[in-house]
Amino acid sequence: MRNILFILLLFSLCVPHNTHAQETDVSLLDQNDTDTIDKYILFKNRLVLYGDIGFISSPFFLSFKDSNSVMHELTYRVNHGIMLGIGGSYKWIAVRLSYMILSNIENSDVYGQTKYFGLQLDLPIKRVYTEFDLFRFSGYALLNASKKVPQVTSKTMLFPETSTINLNIAAYYFFNPEFEVNSMKGRSGHYKKKVTSWYLKGNFGYTGVSNHGEPIVPEVFLSSQETNRNKSNRIGALEFGALPGIAYVNRKKNWQFSGVFGLGISIQHKFYSIDDYTRTFLGVSPRIDAKINVGYNPVNWFIMLGGELDYKQINFDDLTYRNALFNIKLTGGYRFKTKNHRTTKNKIKFSN
């Protein structure tokens, strides 16, 4: 607990606390380091540095019929931890690195121990936003085991070898020319007025779950004669698709809030493996994409609370795997004037 309080205190010290009226009510902007458009402001020549703290989770759900044709639904989750991210941007370059600073903060006897690996890269350029995400979690706990699994009396069942992986490469195109992604994210810019835009997201990726050669479904549900996909030790799918959606951003004084929501389908090349035997299929699957961001965002600094959800699903006739990857994080940063753009000439004035 003391480690958590220390991290929160350290993060709070990194966030500027000066809320002088010059920033919140009236701002003087240098024309040399700022693009001021009708709907948004982009600090094109400022060096933006920020840190974020939060958590990420990747629960998954199995639905299947046992040998007696009884339907079961099981929920698996990780032992959560606290993540720290450090990032920056300058002109069109943006980089962010994140790592788990406190892992397995929950009771390991109940939720086991989870290993985490994550990598995120993004490149926002005007109305186009590309992103690369790779996440892997290893070590899961089955919830409500005493109610869901016969002959089990404990609250959970631990599966230390069970792992999930999600790889996603995506590109968003926003149809409204007044929609600028950097300003929507609130780091290297911010909005002045309400803007909405339809968008189209194209994606390519992989999702799946494995149990290191052992069946993913608990053994108690499997009969010795059973040879169907319930004995799968690996389930996965390569997928590509398109998601139409809508994006919204607004600003009241120095408070900015934005969100995107998309719903579509992906074409999947899906498979399941039982020992050395693998069967593949073609199919389609629903996809949900949702992001929300809200916070205080004056000229020189920002602090934003954001969340993301990426829902994926793999369906077979009597076995369904669903995964809901989501994260919540608090981000704080500062926009530094660079040496070559600290002139105070040609200032323009605006009010929020």
Please give the full DSSP string across 277-346, using - where no structure is assigned. Answer: EEEEEEEEEEEEEEEEEEEE--SSEEEEEEEEEEEEEEE-SSEEEEEEEEEEEEEEEEEEEPGGG----S
Q: What is the pLDDT of residue 25?
A: 38
Report d(CA 107, CA 103) in Å as an integer: 11
> What mean pLDDT do residues 127-152 have?
90
Whether the predicted pLDDT of 125 surpasses 80:
no
If pLDDT is split at 50, 70 and 90, which confidence band does 11 have? Answer: very low
Q: What is the mean pLDDT of the chain?
A: 84
Whether the predicted pLDDT of 13 surpasses 50:
no
Q: What is the pLDDT of residue 126?
A: 66
Give CA angle at 267 (263, 270), nearest 5°: 120
Q: What is the pLDDT of residue 94?
A: 74
Q: What is the pLDDT of residue 349?
A: 45
Q: What is the pLDDT of residue 21?
A: 37
Task: Please tell me the number of Cα atoms within 13 Å of 201 on its side-chain side.
Answer: 27
The one-character DSSP state at 230 is: G
Percent of the chain predicted with pLDDT > 90: 53
Report d(CA 59, CA 324) in Å as an integer: 6
If pLDDT is split at 50, 70 and 90, which confidence band does 102 have? Answer: confident
Whether the predicted pLDDT of 245 surpasses 60:
yes
Q: What is the pLDDT of residue 224?
A: 60
Whether the predicted pLDDT of 5 surpasses 70:
no
Could you read off the pLDDT of 272-282 as tens digits, one per residue? 999 888 999 99
Q: Domain segments of the chain: what residues?
A: 2-16+36-351
If pLDDT is split at 50, 70 and 90, which confidence band does 17 have? Answer: very low
Report d(CA 160, CA 149) in Å as an integer: 18
Q: Which CATH class is domain 2-16+36-351?
A: mainly beta
> pTM here?
0.82
> What mean pLDDT do residues 105-110 have?
94
φ and ψ at residue 184, rounded to 5 degrees: -65, -40
If pLDDT is split at 50, 70 and 90, which confidence band does 23 have? Answer: very low
Task: Return the sign of the alpha-carbon dihedral for residues 341, 346, 347, 349.
Answer: negative
Whether the predicted pLDDT of 205 surpasses 70:
yes
Whether the predicted pLDDT of 340 surpasses 50:
yes
